[in-house]
């Protein structure tokens, strides 16, 4: 299976580069499964129903969230009619929506998409390790799903890496999101799970993690907010992770970073470009 996970979309520039580039990537790379973290898609804070449909129409098979899941209050309602929108699984019982979703890939295979949120320097939610363990016990790789993808939305790289090793051999991919800077530690772990500490941001990198530079700098200098955080609307970079899995095991065989457009040095899944 060919999987592309696209990192945290921030604002209009992030959405624009996805809607521009993703359809051709699906076609040219013959992608089977596309997952997008969309928790910053609406002006940097949350997601709306029209944006959800915009990303699905562009080629996303599932959209994950994180700590900004409910910044747009409408999400509390429309998530119930958005079966491919996945919020963190370790929210308390009774939270609207779902923390895991079984989606049909473009090739007809089944993929379990799980979203979890870390607890270091973040909201003290339920234990993400216990929540994911229960989900994997209920739906094991290959016997329950052809691929299992976990979006670990965390501040601390240690928590993301711990999750990768915790599920190694039981998931196809563990991808870190939230910190908006793509790390260089993409690899296939010893047990066959693809991993990266952070997949990076999809948006305008002439910014401070997706926000126009002036206000974050002002707050660092003076510790006093003077205006709202707003994402800039310069050219966006699409950041993602390309993963290929073995159809027999569901485990990863190859992984590569993806960076397209905008300011960053381009990186492509060369093994698919040559295919």
pLDDT of 83 reads 97
Element (H, E) at 22: helix 11-28
HEC-encoded secondary structure of 165-179: HHCCCCCCEEEEECC
**pLDDT at residue 227 tops 90:** no
What does the pLDDT look like over 15-59, one tens digit per residue? 999 999 999 999 999 999 999 999 999 999 999 999 999 999 999
Q: Cα separation of 253 and 255, whole Å? A: 7
pLDDT class of 275 with cuts at 50, 70, 90: low
What does the pLDDT look like over 68-91, one tens digit per residue? 999 999 999 999 999 999 999 999
**Domain range holding 188?**
2-273
For residue 24, give both structure tokens: 């051709």
Q: Cα separation of 86 and 84, whole Å? A: 6
pLDDT of 159 reads 98
Beta strands in the chain (DSSP E): 2-6, 33-37, 62-64, 85-86, 100-104, 110-117, 147-153, 173-177, 187-188, 194-196, 238-245, 252-260
Domains held by the chain: number: 1
Active centre residues (catalytic): 68
DSSP helix/strand/coil, 17: helix
- Global pTM reads 0.96
Q: Which residue has the tokens 């019982």?
A: 93
CATH number, position 261: 3.60.21.10
Contact 63, 90 (CB under 8 A): no
What does the pLDDT look like over 134-193, one tens digit per residue? 999 999 999 999 999 999 999 999 999 999 999 999 999 999 999 999 999 999 999 999
């Amino acid at each position: 299976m060919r999987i592309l996970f696209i990192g945290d979309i921030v604002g209009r520039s992030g959405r624009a580069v996805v809607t521009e580039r993703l359809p051709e990537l699906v076609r040219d790379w013959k992608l089977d499964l596309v997952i997008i973290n969309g928790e910053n898609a609406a002006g940097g804070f949350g997601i709306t129903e029209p944006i959800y449909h915009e990303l699905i129409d562009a080629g996303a098979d599932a959209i994950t969230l994180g700590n900004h899941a409910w910044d747009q209050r409408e999400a509390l309602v429309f998530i119930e009619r958005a079966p491919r929108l996945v919020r963190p699984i370790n929210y308390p019982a009774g939270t609207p929506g779902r923390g895991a979703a079984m989606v049909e890939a473009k090739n007809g295979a089944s993929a379990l998409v799980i979203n979890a949120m870390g607890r270091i320097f973040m909201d003290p939610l339920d234990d993400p390790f216990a929540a994911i363990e229960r989900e994997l016990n209920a739906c094991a790789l290959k016997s329950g799903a052809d691929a299992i993808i976990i979006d670990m939305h965390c501040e601390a790289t240690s928590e993301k890496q711990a999750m990768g090793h915790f599920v190694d051999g039981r998931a196809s991919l563990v991808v870190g999101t939230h910190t908006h800077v793509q790390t260089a530690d993409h690899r296939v772990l010893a047990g066959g799970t693809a991993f990266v500490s952070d997949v990076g941001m999809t948006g305008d990198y002439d910014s401070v993690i997706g926000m126009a530079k002036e206000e974050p700098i002002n707050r660092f200098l003076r510790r006093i907010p003077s205006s709202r955080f707003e994402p800039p609307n310069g050219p966006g970079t699409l950041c993602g992770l390309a993963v290929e899995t073995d159809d027999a095991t569901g485990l990863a065989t190859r992984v590569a970073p993806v960076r397209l457009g905008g300011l960053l040095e381009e990186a492509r899944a060369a093994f698919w470009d040559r295919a």
